[in-house]
Amino acid sequence: MTTSSSSGGIITQFYNCVVLKDHRLVDDYVYVQDGKIIDPAKMFFDERRAPDVRIDCGGGIVAPGYIDVQINGAFGYDFSNDTDIIDEAVDNVSKGLLMQGCTAYCPTTVSSRPEVYKQVLDHLGPRAGSVERGAEVLGAHVEGPFISPQKKGAHELATLRTAEGGLEAFDECYGLDRLRRNVAYVTMAPEVSGVLESIPRLIAATGIRIAAGHSNATTAEATQALAGGASMITHLFNAMHPFHQRDPGVIGLLGASGTTRPFYGIICDGVHVHPHSVMIAYRAHPDGACLVTDAMAAQSLPNGVYKLGEMDVDVHDGNVYIQGTNTIAGAVITLAECVRNFARFTGASKVEALESATLHPAQMLGITGRKGVLAHGADADIIVLDHELNVQRIFVAGKEATRENVVYKNKL
Amino acid sequence: MRLIIRDDPKAVAYYTANYVRQRINEFKPTRKRPFVLGLPTGSTPVEVYWHLVDYYKRGEVSFRHVITFSMDEYVGLPRSHPESYCAFMHRHLYDHINLRPENVHMLDGNADDLAAECQRYEDKIKEVGGIELFLGGIGPDGHIAFNEPGSSLESVTRVKTLAYETVLANARFFGGDVNKVPKLALTVGVGTVRAAREVLLIITGAHKAVALAKCIEEGVNHMWTVSVVQLHPSAMIVCDEDATLELHVKTVRYFKSIEQVQEQLIGRQHIGLKGSISKLASSDPADSFGSGVLPPAAATASKDSNTSDASQSSADEDASDADDDDDDVSSQPFSDDEDRNGDTATAATPAASTPSPANILADSSSDINGVRVDDSLTPAAPVGNPF
């Protein structure tokens, strides 16, 4: 077989599969070259090429790789606490997540002191995915510290702050330049002093996106945040004012008519949010659902007690509590499990469940040109699943990730 | 000219695809001696291509040494436009089979010099040795490719202005907006099609009936360009019953009886794919005409069984019109024709399938008018036919 004189590396064709395309699962092929998804007609007529490698998907589903926009750590590593070994943390978590079918993610930091941000943010910035380095890092998700003390969850009270100084306060805490270079989005509480006015200015100064979370805000305050440019809600239902019929708080944004409603992260481990609540939220605003794990360092660690940063946590069969309390410290679920749970909780179709972990997070981050879709020109981050939505094969930047070529370790 | 009449478009598509498959396999193409195929676009070819893709996926045909030439292409439409003929062919055929990209030839409707592009195309056809089999359809006005009424019957590949009727007919692919339909097209000429060694036209639907009648029952005429098939030494038309609506009853009966006679008196295994007869019916299995086709039942048993034979098929067809393709045709394309689609060119199941003359006549359940014609590959025109 001769290849033409045209450019480009080997061409891989995924066949014998149904492809997630145009909001449907269709009998089709996916073609990959040089880490990107390519247009087969151009390949055929312009480049005069035929596929070099053909991958039989066994009749399974071909979908974009999963995208997790809220994850604090895993495999014993924590992005907020392992400041001295932050590169090692990113390395191992990236590879570990890749092997779970997550091909891109936002490493998340909890409320921390300014020194911590100075130390870690530059190491949590965008980094391309590969078999050698693991899942793509899309930029950090900085959760806090401009959040409500009443809704801090497992965050440390002493780190929380207010923003009376406006942009100055954010600069002093994170460094605006550091935000611009490394951060995908920041979670803050609209009712915290100085936050509402700062939202549009922060967006203009740094280009980051803003999420409302860990907040007691009224619906009126939350709506103002939305108007100011906030586009995401962080782990809907958790660490926010519960739904009340006369003031639904941040949750109420799912019912805001006459305006573009925000995306919302939602944790589908069955623990953080009751399955019925997931269904109610989904049916209220299906296009906004972004499945997140909010996983913490104990993810993929066996049951036990661990010292994670300043906290002692108790990992027990999928539940993680701050030792001695009823406060959930975080989740230990994988995104692939979240997708399966979500489909079960809500009755969503396979397409809808898959899109909630791929297309919607990519839309929230504004990166649908290259992530979260199997479109010509997009990055070839691909997963092959069976029809029960179990991940069977994983490809990042066009290359298959296997146990042999993706090697990582637990910290502990 | 052979006229093969089948019940409906699905049966027509199946017959055609099966024929193409057998022609390719019998030809045994190689790199030095490729099989050159001319291909049309349109809704009937879609189903033919579907079958060809299926044959390929089942390993029953390979396009490795097949070269294709398309009949036409719009001028000025980007290749990436979903309605361009490039996109159509890729979507329905090229993307699914092992045709080599360098063996696919499409007219370039965006070339700077359209006349030179047409000449290049003609030259390329000559370079590869001419077209072995040209598939085509027919327009309601009797045109082949875009050779609209008034086209010279000796025309070559050139730019044509589309007839208004054609533009209107194509508007449905452009959101119903006549203004969006291209008005110019590059097309192979009538002469180009005539130069092919064999021409196979697929004609289905009542709206083609007048055109079919004009083209085969009246004179050769540039207002009905498909009529040139009358002058071609190796032409075949596969059509459905609806397309015969304007034909004389005796024409239809005649062509149906041809297939019947061949089966009964000659025996399918003695008739070549293109109609040549080796000898009259014999019971000697070693006599069957079976050059180079793929082993039969190796393919799935559920479809086109190469092993079926006249007696088996006629037994299945048992006399009634209700025992028809129609029931199954809407679902699995293959389940219905499994028994009926015989293959004259196969060496398959010798003993069981070779009918003796006595058997054939005894088992025939079709009446002389061909009410139930076996959907086999029996060509309609024996050697020395009086046409």
Q: Yes or no: say if A390 and A353 are a contact pair by the CB < 8 Å rule.
A: no
**Residues in CB range of B13: below 8 A, 6 or more apart:** B44, B47, B48, B50, B51, B202
Q: Where are the domains of chain A?
A: 11-63+376-400, 66-365
Q: Where are the domains of chain B?
A: 2-266
What tokens appear for B139 in the block? Answer: 């327009």
One-character DSSP codes across B122-152? HHHHHHTT--SEEEE---TTS-BTTB-TT--
Interface of A with B in 215-244 (CB under 8 A): none
d(CA B244, CA B9) in angstroms, rounded, equals: 12
pLDDT at A4: 45
Q: Yes or no: say if A33 and A3 are a contact pair by the CB < 8 Å rule.
A: no
Share of residues in chain A with pLDDT > 90 (%): 85
Residues of A in contact with B106 (CB under 8 A): 45
CB-nearest partner of A41 from B86, B100, B102: B86
Annotated binding residue A154: yes
* B88 touches A at CB < 8 Å: no
One-character DSSP codes across B222-282? TTBGGGGGGG-TTEEEEEEGGGGTTS-HHHHHHHHHHHHHIIIII-GGGB-TTS-B--S--
pLDDT at A309: 66
pLDDT at B82: 87
User: Which segment of A27-36, A284-293, B85-94, B165-174 scores lowest on mean pLDDT?
Assistant: B165-174
Query: Per the CATH hierarchy, to which homologous superfamily does domain A66-365 belong?
Result: Metal-dependent hydrolases (3.20.20.140)
Annotated binding residue A285: no
Q: Is B108 a catalytic residue?
A: no
> Does ipTM come in above 0.90?
no
Q: Note the CATH number of domain A11-63+376-400.
A: 2.30.40.10
Per-residue pLDDT of chain B (387 residues; tens, 9 = 90+): 999 999 999 999 999 999 999 999 999 999 999 999 999 988 889 999 999 999 999 999 999 999 999 999 999 998 888 889 999 999 999 999 999 999 999 999 999 999 999 999 999 999 999 999 999 999 888 989 889 899 999 999 999 998 888 888 888 888 889 998 999 999 999 999 999 999 999 999 999 999 999 999 999 999 999 999 999 999 999 999 999 999 999 999 999 999 888 777 777 777 777 777 776 655 555 544 433 333 344 333 333 433 333 333 333 333 333 333 333 333 333 333 333 333 333 333 333 334 343 333 333 333 333 333 344 444 444 433 333
| Average pLDDT of every residue of chain A | 94
Query: Looking at the DSSP assignment, which residues form a beta bridge with residue B72?
Result: B187
CB-nearest partner of B95 from A4, A29, A42: A29
User: Which segment of A25-34, A330-339, B363-372 scores lowest on mean pLDDT?
Assistant: B363-372
* A44 touches B at CB < 8 Å: yes
The residue that leads in pLDDT, A301 or A161, is A161
pLDDT at A185: 97
Are the Cβ atoms of A45 and B101 closer than 8 angstroms? Answer: yes
pLDDT at B286: 52
Q: Looking at B148, B198, B309, B375, which residue is catalytic? A: B148
**Residues in CB range of A90: below 8 A, 6 or more apart:** A79, A107, A123, A124, A127, A137
* B82 touches A at CB < 8 Å: no
Q: Is B284 a catalytic residue?
A: no
Q: Is B148 a catalytic residue?
A: yes
User: Which segment of A159-163, A309-313, B94-98, B239-243 scores lowest on mean pLDDT?
Assistant: A309-313
- Residue A197 half-sphere exposure toward CB, CA atoms < 13 A: 10
pLDDT at B321: 35
CATH class in words for B2-266? alpha beta
Residues of A identified as active-site: 294
Q: What is the pLDDT of residues B301-341, one digit of tens each?
A: 333 433 333 333 333 333 333 333 333 333 333 333 333 33
Per DSSP, the three-state class of B78 is coil
Q: Yes or no: say if A210 and A185 are a contact pair by the CB < 8 Å rule.
A: yes
d(CA A287, CA B297) in angstroms, rounded, equals: 51
User: Which segment of A274-278, A339-343, A403-407, B360-364 scores lowest on mean pLDDT?
Assistant: B360-364
pLDDT at B141: 87
**Amino acid identity, residue B320?**
S
What tokens appear for B88 in the block? Answer: 């159509």
The residue that leads in pLDDT, A201 or B281, is A201
